Chains A and B, each alone.
Chain A
């Protein structure tokens, strides 16, 4: 799994420094987590602008909680951060779905929901396949592969047993495989 995070920074120490209000700690915190939040949001929303808005909104909330002492660090920062992120994403998805339903009713264009920024056919196919999964499956995949959360953190975040999360991930990947198999066969042929 490729990782754009700066390896030199210890996430826990960065959070502690941000809580103490140390200079530069907030920038480090943004550097560590903002792209992961963005990726998780983008995977669900498929809209770069919306994903950036969600990321900003999440980081502002995190900052407000940290700077006003409303966040108590118990070593579960990542779960807390992505819980906020997923709530924002869910809200946004619901709003977008309402809007899209309305737009599709007006335009009748079945491809209107496609992300204009999708250049690669393979990625588009994969994104379409992910988007056709149930919301809970999409969340697990997005948290695991886009946000790079560990299964333990995902289980903690979703309030589900680890086994349930692992099984859900397993099933979701299986469904993707079934959907993508014809694509693979065509590519190999």
Chain B
């Protein structure tokens, strides 16, 4: 802030221009009215009022994460209910086996039918189509 000293050590090409610049600077600094500082300070006060809100916003995710972690810990610490295995009676097991065999049989049967249909196509006589056309023409 020791500007007078600095001014004396700097090259000054034209004191008149420097003086004009200083005068213009002083004029600009004096330009704002008397309420200027109050308005600037007031703007900062309004910003201060926003700062706690910002902190709450910043804290909100942390609080949510903490609450979620706490709930998770509580669930982990609670004794888990005993798992009871489902036991099937021998008669039920037999019925299930029969049903699954039936399904397998049905599937295999369908596959067999398809295979025999293919075999029938292979055994067709290529001339039979011409015969069929001739029959059509005759009709």
B83 within 8 A of A: no
For B1-26 the 0/1 string (1 means CB < 8 A from A) is: 11110110011111011101111111
Number of A-B contacts (CB under 8 A): 125
Partner of A146, one of B7, B17, B25, B48: B25
Q: Which residues of A contact B25 (CB under 8 A)?
A: 1, 39, 43, 145-148
Task: Give chain B nearest CB distance to A130 CB in angstroms.
Answer: 8
Q: Which residues of A contact B118 (CB under 8 A)?
A: none
Interface majority SS (helix, strand, loop, mixed), chain A: helix
A residues 156-172 with Cβ under 8 Å of B? 166, 169-170
Say yes or no: B32 contacts A11, CB within 8 Å. Answer: no
Q: Which residues of A contact B1 (CB under 8 A)?
A: 11, 78, 150
For B35-74 the 0/1 string (1 means CB < 8 A from A) is: 0110111011001100100000000000000000000000
Q: Which residue of B lies closest to A46 (CB)?
A: B28
Say yes or no: A43 contacts B10, CB within 8 Å. Answer: no
Say yes or no: A35 contacts B22, CB within 8 Å. Answer: no
With A36-B29, A52-B32 as contacts: A166 and B44 at CB distance below 8 Å: no
Say yes or no: A60 contacts B37, CB within 8 Å. Answer: no
Q: Which residue of A lies closest to B19 (CB)?
A: A1
Q: Which residues of B contact A30 (CB under 8 A)?
A: 37, 40-41, 44
B137 within 8 A of A: no
Q: Which residues of A contact B22 (CB under 8 A)?
A: 1-2, 145
Q: How many residues of A contact B (CB 8 A)?
A: 50
Q: CA A178 – CA B47 in complex, angstroms?
A: 46
Interface majority SS (helix, strand, loop, mixed), chain B: helix
Say yes or no: A63 contacts B17, CB within 8 Å. Answer: no
Q: How many residues of B contact A (CB 8 A)?
A: 37
For A164-189 the 0/1 string (1 means CB < 8 A from B) is: 00100110011011001000100000
A26 within 8 A of B: yes
Say yes or no: B3 contacts A126, CB within 8 Å. Answer: no
B residues 82-127 with Cβ under 8 Å of A? none
Task: Give chain B nearest CB distance to A170 CB in angstroms.
Answer: 5
With A48-B31, A169-B10 as contacts: A38 and B24 at CB distance below 8 Å: no
A residues 23-44 with Cβ under 8 Å of B? 26-27, 30-31, 34-36, 38-39, 42-43
Chain A positions near chain B (C-beta within 8 angstroms): 1-2, 4, 11, 26-27, 30-31, 34-36, 38-39, 42-43, 48, 52, 55-56, 59-60, 62-64, 67-68, 78, 122-123, 126-127, 141, 144-152, 166, 169-170, 173-174, 176-177, 180, 184
A-B residue pairs in contact (CB < 8 Å), sample of 9: A34-B40, A43-B28, A55-B40, A56-B39, A59-B41, A63-B47, A149-B3, A151-B10, A174-B14
Which 8 A-B pairs give the minimum distances between C-beta atoms? A39-B28, A63-B44, A145-B25, A145-B21, A146-B25, A2-B26, A56-B43, A39-B29
